[in-house]
Structure formats: structure tokens, C-alpha cells
């Protein structure tokens, strides 16, 4: 079919999203980022050149706030909220922005 685009898998989409996040964070440094989605979180942390995470706190049930350990100096020390599925309260993103704990 002329003009038709090939379908992209969920995995490929998550990988591209992770690379896009890394590019955006290199251009616009921030100290805290929220990533929603289990697989998405995994691919995003890989794209941020993570070699480890340390526990920084709890934003809600099942929603940790972690500090990124990265080979990329622009990413190293950034706080990440890694939220999967239906985890966390309705206001989890406000908690991330304002630094509220459980």
C-alpha cells in the first residue's frame, strides 16, 4: 500500500520514548522526573545511561522516588519517580512536583 507506515511495536515505542526523554533532559536539565509505565520506565532508565538507582523516598504506595546513578554527568543524581500500572494516589504527579511523601 502506497503511503502506508509500518506498525511499531510497544517495545519499540518505549525505546524511542526513552531516547526522546534523554534528549529532552540533556537540552533542558531538571532535577526531578516522573516516568509512568513499567516497561517505559525500564527503557527510559537505560536511555539515561543508568548503572544504578538509590532510594530517595516514597511518593505513595508502590511509587518510589529514586536517585539516578548514571555515566552521563547531565543525568547523574537526578531524582526519578518510577510509577508502574495503577500504583500511587490520584495526586501522585503533584506529590512529585511539590515533594510530598505518603
Identify the pLDDT of residue 101: 58
E-state strands within 13-99: 32-36, 50-60, 63-70, 79-83
Contact 74, 30 (CB under 8 A): no
Containing domain of residue 94, as a range?
Answer: 30-98
pLDDT in tens, the chain (102 residues): 566 677 888 888 888 888 998 899 989 978 899 988 877 888 888 888 889 999 999 888 888 999 999 988 888 999 999 887 777 778 888 888 887 655
Identify the pLDDT of residue 102: 52
Q: What is the CA radius of gyration of the chain?
A: 15
Identify the pLDDT of residue 100: 62
Does residue 36 fall inside a structural domain?
yes
Identify the pLDDT of residue 2: 60
Q: Tally Cβ neighbours within 10 Å of residue 45.
A: 23
Spatial distance between the Cα atoms of 87 and 46, rounded to a whole number of angstroms: 22
Does residue 55 fall inside a structural domain?
yes
Query: What CATH number is associated with residue 76?
Result: 3.40.980.20
Does residue 65 fall inside a structural domain?
yes
Identify the pLDDT of residue 66: 93
Domain count, the chain: 1
Amino acid at each position: 500500500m502506497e503511503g502506508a507506515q509500518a506498525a511499531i511495536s510497544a517495545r519499540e515505542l518505549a525505546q524511542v520514548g526513552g531516547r526522546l526523554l534523554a534528549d529532552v533532559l540533556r537540552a533542558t536539565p531538571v532535577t526531578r522526573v516522573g516516568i509512568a509505565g513499567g516497561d517505559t520506565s525500564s527503557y527510559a532508565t537505560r536511555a539515561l545511561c543508568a548503572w544504578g538507582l538509590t532510594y530517595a523516598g516514597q511518593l505513595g504506595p508502590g511509587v518510589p522516588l529514586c536517585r539516578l546513578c548514571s555515566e552521563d554527568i547531565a543525568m547523574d543524581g537526578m531524582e526519578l519517580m518510577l510509577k508502574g500500572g495503577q500504583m500511587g494516589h490520584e495526586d501522585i504527579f503533584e506529590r512529585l512536583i511539590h515533594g510530598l511523601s505518603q
